[in-house]
């Protein structure tokens, strides 16, 4: 498996989310999520998760996907996954 350095790289994940949401990266914070951003729809949610899966070589369960309610939560899930061999 590739070296997993990306999840700790704030700009990498932020850029990914900004790219899917089609918003400037500067507007994406750790709190950005469906509750704060109208553009974060259910479809975009899945697109973000899918991009994260592809970029970091992991696979999330439906429950984990549903728990990714913000950039911060997404990062937490990624970190937890990273700890898993």
Smallest distance from other proteins to CB 73, Å: 8
Residue whose structure tokens are 């994940």:
13
User: Residue 63 burial (CB < 10 Å; 0-12/13-18/19+)?
Assistant: exposed
CB count in 10 Å sphere of residue 71: 24
# of chain residues touching other proteins (CB under 8 A): 20
Q: Where in the chain does DSSP place strands (E)?
A: none
Smallest distance from other proteins to CB 52, Å: 12
Smallest distance from other proteins to CB 69, Å: 5
Ranges within 16-75 binding other proteins (CB under 8 A)? 33-35, 38-39, 41-43, 45-47, 49-50, 62-63, 65-69
Question: How distant is the alpha carbon of residue 24 from its chain centre?
Answer: 16
Binding residues vs other proteins (CB under 8 A): 33-35, 38-39, 41-43, 45-47, 49-50, 62-63, 65-69
């Amino acid at each position: 498996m590739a070296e997993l350095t990306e999840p700790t790289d704030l700009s990498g994940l932020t850029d990914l989310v900004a790219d899917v949401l089609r918003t400037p990266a500067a507007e994406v914070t750790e709190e950005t999520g469906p509750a704060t951003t109208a553009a974060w729809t259910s479809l975009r949610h899945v697109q973000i998760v899918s991009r994260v899966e592809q970029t970091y070589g992991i696979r999330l369960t439906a429950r984990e996907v549903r728990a990714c309610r913000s950039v911060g939560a997404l990062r937490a899930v990624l970190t937890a996954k990273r700890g898993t061999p």
